[in-house]
Amino acid sequence: MKWIIGIASRYIPRHIQQLFAHWLLILISPFYRGNRFEDPIDGKTYRKLLPYGQLNKRENALAPLSLSLERHRLIWLYLKEQTDFFTAPIRFLHVAPEYCFLRRFKKQKNLDYVSADLISPWADIKMDVRNIPFPENSFDVAMCNHVFEHVEEDFQAMAEFYRVLKPGGWAIFQVPVDYSRKETFQDPSITEPKDREKYYWQHDHVRLYGRDYSKRLASAGFDVDENNYEQQLDETLSRRYALPKGEILYICRKPSH
């Protein structure tokens, strides 16, 4: 089973994977039942989770029933425990909508929910993040995870999100970050998929962000909170939820004035 999942994650485009992965994982989920791990998004428990990753396979990463990864579970906990996302009236732009969130966000009565993407089969609106088709000051909250590393003009995309957020609005923009790098690495001559995988961690990435990622976000106008919420959680809880150890949440707020 592991090798099937590995081949699929490596060679099949993600938007195609999403069309069949959920039904496949429902079928195999009984083999993973147990009580060692818990997915906080749906409350399901498992003896183990599925591995995930292309260059470096991560054990106990993917929850079979919700399709959540480590970062999704961390974001869910942050939204639930640290924000009013589940209670306040919010107009919410969700770009590259993750399957584990999509149906749950759609059901939230407090959200005026807009999902968008360039190719995702789940998105309501087809959209390029470099040219967001909404007026300025349209949204209270936005989320766009693991997208900027695929976009050549990432500064333009960041500026577009800043434009459409209302003053005081906020967003979460997660990307793969190599914390050993002081600065983001990008070389236009690196175009071959195998070379991009080597230098950028994935064959369809166009850069590898470093510790300067928050400065890049701030250049668009955002006040950036490099939030270490995972490190504030009890270690036992972090292990049970299989959270990404040491991952920083990039919480970006558009100033009120």
Closest CA to 5 of 120, 150, 20: 20
Residue 154: predicted pLDDT: 98
Q: Is the pLDDT of residue 34 over 70?
A: yes
Q: Is the pLDDT of residue 21 over 80?
A: no
CA 52 to mean position of chain CA atoms? 14
Cβ-Cβ contacts under 8 Å for 25 (sequence gap 6 or more): 50, 62, 64, 65, 67
Share of the chain above pLDDT 70, in %: 91
Q: Which of 32-46, 51-65, 82-96, 108-122 is the least confident region? A: 51-65
What whole-number distance in Å separates Cα of residue 23 and Cα of residue 43? 19
Domain 71-253 matching CATH 3.40.50.150: the answer reads: yes
- Per-residue pLDDT band at 145 (split at 50, 70, 90): very high
Q: pLDDT tens-digit profile of 80-126?
A: 999 999 999 999 999 999 999 999 999 999 999 999 999 888 899 99
- Per-residue pLDDT band at 152 (split at 50, 70, 90): very high
**For the chain, how far is it from start to end, CA to CA, in angstroms?**
53
Neighbours of 210 (CB within 10 A): 17
Closest CA to 200 of 90, 61, 69, 55: 55
Q: What is the mean pLDDT of the chain?
A: 92
Cβ-Cβ contacts under 8 Å for 198 (sequence gap 6 or more): none
What whole-number distance in Å separates Cα of residue 123 and Cα of residue 135? 19
Give pTM, 2 decimals. Answer: 0.91
| Better-scored residue on pLDDT, 175 or 21 | 175
Instruction: With beta carbons less than 8 A apart as the criterion, state whether 251 and 174 touch.
Output: no
Q: Which helix (H) or strand (E) holds 175?
A: none
Phi, psi dihedral angles at 40 (to 5 degrees): -70, -15
Domain positions in the chain are 2-68, 71-253
What whole-number distance in Å separates Cα of residue 228 and Cα of residue 174? 13
DSSP character at residue 150: G
